[in-house]
């Protein structure tokens, strides 16, 4: 899933080309982006009641500041603007020259300074919260640009922003209009590629190089291949010729960039942020100020909790098997009707379960469609595309990828998820995971809540819902269902611990691989991908970290407001939590618990 916000555009969305926020093929699905093919029986998606839900009241000092800020922010981050539905920026790419990077830093720094200088007496409580929200977002974005120095170190900073999938897969306009937008984009690629080449410092760590070359070379193939095929029905031959010329030049530039970063042999290390910078990442991007040793102990405790739960579930489901073989047995129970049709059948039942058990409000009548992912976007086993808040009337689509036909039969068969594994994916992506999160955030009272849904909030919520649904009685305690849920929980546990150890404790990629294999019972291919991802996406600890903060907040909030029956408070808690949009979770905790400062976030 693509997540709102610059670093999400740079770190999560970035994974789109080779499977990042979308996860690489074979990984447990977590992501989002996409295309529509609305079945006739699906009712049209209604417009939001407010004719201009993104309007800002500029009569107040805060509103005037916020409006001016966004007017400056979108031109500097046009890829982000387009994803939100601001199509006047179609075709544009960020300026990654030294001057452009300085402008990006300066705008954020100035906005933070101006926001903090506003007289608190002139702000309503809601405006004061929005100010804190914006400052937190911008501090996080500055971390990646300045402290982590991603523009000079990590290809991940660029891959997501270069992804043209929105022009191909989102039907915001007719094919000819979107083709023109793609052509404008392609014409901007050579200059962007030259800026990236000048910025990235060689040699790159081995995992960065592999990721970068897969992304840049992948674009080179994509432009003239699948992207061209996506516009095959456009009959304007002059436009087709213009496309061919622009795509060829863009492909050549991307391939040259890929060759360039591989021109110097890669290093086996060089990926680690270091303990101090990693701590700064957690504090500045997610508002979590916890010593690393304590943070690691929290993750180890959750891993042990889930391992113990797996032993109990496997003791009921397959007592004669090892834990690894128990999980293989769960995965071998494939959907007879195929994963796409199985997911279509799962979604109404999941939605009904939410309603029948009074778990969370469902605003609106929107439904997520389920489709097989298009051939040009099958880097991930599953993902969802949710239109941005400036879009109206467009469908969200939950995509499930078929196995690569070039794989051998055994690998193809293993790639198809088991029913309960797929159920967990449907929970995570749709009901009540990402899709429901964004139904709420797109209706937030705050424009910032609509635009900036952070990594730990979005992925923490989606991951939290997997366990929450089982706790709420989904499938009445069925052990196979529990094993499917725990398989994904353990995967995220090892991400959490790998992120800390890879970046702050000298862990090697091989040692991370061994952790995924031996402690979280992941298959070899998945473990390989996850260990590599941890080097260039150190924030992938946010799945478990976000989940744990939400669980702690739920327990504390319901104990305060529903002391006699905390379970009765789940719906009220979920609704209030989601109403904030997607700020750093400690900031939400401060508001919901009425704390002077967030305390005991775990």
Rounded CA-CA distance 422/433 in Å is 14
Quick check: 548 pLDDT over 80? yes
Confidence of residue 377 (pLDDT cuts 50, 70, 90): low
Which tokens in the block code for residue 247?
């795509």
How many Cβ atoms from other residues are within 10 Å of residue 41's Cβ?
Answer: 5
Quick check: 410 pLDDT over 90? no
Return all residues near 133 (Cβ < 8 A) that are at least 6 apart: 446, 448, 449, 452, 581, 583, 587
Rounded CA-CA distance 63/170 in Å is 31
Quick check: 9 pLDDT over 80? no
* 101 or 38, higher pLDDT: 101
pTM of the model: 0.91
Confidence of residue 67 (pLDDT cuts 50, 70, 90): very high
What is the sign, positive or negative, of the torsion defined by CA atoms of 269, 456, 17, 450?
Answer: negative
In tens, the pLDDT along 134-159 reads 999 999 999 999 999 999 999 999 99
Do residues 63 and 381 touch, judged by C-beta distance below 8 A? no
Helix, strand, coil % over all residues of the chain, rounded to 5: 65, 5, 35
Do residues 151 and 10 touch, judged by C-beta distance below 8 A? no
In tens, the pLDDT along 460-505 reads 999 999 999 999 999 999 999 999 999 999 999 999 999 999 999 9
Rounded CA-CA distance 270/149 in Å is 13
Rounded CA-CA distance 567/548 in Å is 17
Quick check: 29 pLDDT over 90? no
Domain locations in the chain as residue ranges? 60-148, 168-272, 278-544
Q: What is the residue-averaged pLDDT of the chain?
A: 90
Q: What's the confidence (pLDDT) of residue 51?
A: 56
Burial class (CB in 10 A: 0-12, 13-18, 19+), 270: middle
* 69 or 415, higher pLDDT: 69
Rounded CA-CA distance 180/29 in Å is 32
* Closest alpha carbon to 393 in 23, 26, 7, 53: 53
Terminal-residue alpha carbon distance, the chain? 25
CA distances in angstroms from 82 to 85, 293, 387, listed in the order given: 5, 40, 10
What percent of the chain is modeled with pLDDT above 70?
91
In tens, the pLDDT along 243-252 reads 999 999 999 9
Q: What is the mean pLDDT of residues 222-237?
A: 94
């Amino acid at each position: 899933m693509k997540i709102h916000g610059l670093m999400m555009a740079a770190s999560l969305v970035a994974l789109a080309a080779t499977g990042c926020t979308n996860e690489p093929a074979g990984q447990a699905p977590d992501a989002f982006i996409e295309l529509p093919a609305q079945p006739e029986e699906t009712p049209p998606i209604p417009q939001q009641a407010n004719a201009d839900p993104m309007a800002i009241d500029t009569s107040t000092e805060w509103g005037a500041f916020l409006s001016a800020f966004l007017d400056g922010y979108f031109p500097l981050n046009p890829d982000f603007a387009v994803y939100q539905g601001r199509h006047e920026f179609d075709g544009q790419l960020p300026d990654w020259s030294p001057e452009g990077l300085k402008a990006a830093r300066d705008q954020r720094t100035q906005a933070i300074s101006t926001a903090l200088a506003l007289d608190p007496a002139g702000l309503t409580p809601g405006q004061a919260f929005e100010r804190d929200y914006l400052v937190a977002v911008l501090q996080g974005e500055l971390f990646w640009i300045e402290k982590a120095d991603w523009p000079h170190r990590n290809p991940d900073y660029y891959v997501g922003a270069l992804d043209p999938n929105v022009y191909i897969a989102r039907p915001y306009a007719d094919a000819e209009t979107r083709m023109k937008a793609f052509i404008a984009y392609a014409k901007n690629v050579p200059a962007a590629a030259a800026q990236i080449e000048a910025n990235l410092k060689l040699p790159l760590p081995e995992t960065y190089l592999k990721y970068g070359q897969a992304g840049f070379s992948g674009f080179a193939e994509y432009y003239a291949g699948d992207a061209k095929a996506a516009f095959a029905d456009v009959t304007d031959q002059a436009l087709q010729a213009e496309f061919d010329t622009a795509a060829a030049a863009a492909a050549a530039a991307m391939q040259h960039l890929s060759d360039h970063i591989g021109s110097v042999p890669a290093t086996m290390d060089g990926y680690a942020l270091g303990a101090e910078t990693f701590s700064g990442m957690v504090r500045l991007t997610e508002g979590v100020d916890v010593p690393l040793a304590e943070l690691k102990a929290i993750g180890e405790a959750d891993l042990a909790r889930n391992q113990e739960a797996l032993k109990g579930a496997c003791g009921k489901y397959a007592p004669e098997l090892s834990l690894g073989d128990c999980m293989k047995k769960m995965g071998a129970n494939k959907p007879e009707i195929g994963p796409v049709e199985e997911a279509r059948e799962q979604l109404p039942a999941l939605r009904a379960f939410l309603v029948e058990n009074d778990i969370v409000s469902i605003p609106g009548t929107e439904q997520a469609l389920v489709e097989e992912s298009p051939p040009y976007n099958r880097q991930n086993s599953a993902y969802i595309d949710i239109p941005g808040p400036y879009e109206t009337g467009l469908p969200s689509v939950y995509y499930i990828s078929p196995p690569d036909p070039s794989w051998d039969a055994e690998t193809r068969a293993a790639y198809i998820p088991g029913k309960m594994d797929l159920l967990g994916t449907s929970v995570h992506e749709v009901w009540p995971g990402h899709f429901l999160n964004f139904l709420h955030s797109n209706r937030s009272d705050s424009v910032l809540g609509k635009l900036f849904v952070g990594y730990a909030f979005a992925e923490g919520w989606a991951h939290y819902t997997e366990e929450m649904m089982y706790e709420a009685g989904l499938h009445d305690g069925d052990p196979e269902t529990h094993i499917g849920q725990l398989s994904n929980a353990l995967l995220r546990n090892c991400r959490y611990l790998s992120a800390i150890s890879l970046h702050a404790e000298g862990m090697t990629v091989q040692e991370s691989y061994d952790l995924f294999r031996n402690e979280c019972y992941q298959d070899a291919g998945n473990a390989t991908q996850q260990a590599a991802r941890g080097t260039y996406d150190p924030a992938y600890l946010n799945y478990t970290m976000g989940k744990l903060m939400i669980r702690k907040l739920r327990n504390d909030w319901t104990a305060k407001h529903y002391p006699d029956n905390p379970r009765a408070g789940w719906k009220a808690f979920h609704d209030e939590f989601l109403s904030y949009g997607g700020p750093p979770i400690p900031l939400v905790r401060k508001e919901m618990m009425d704390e002077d400062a967030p305390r005991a976030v775990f």
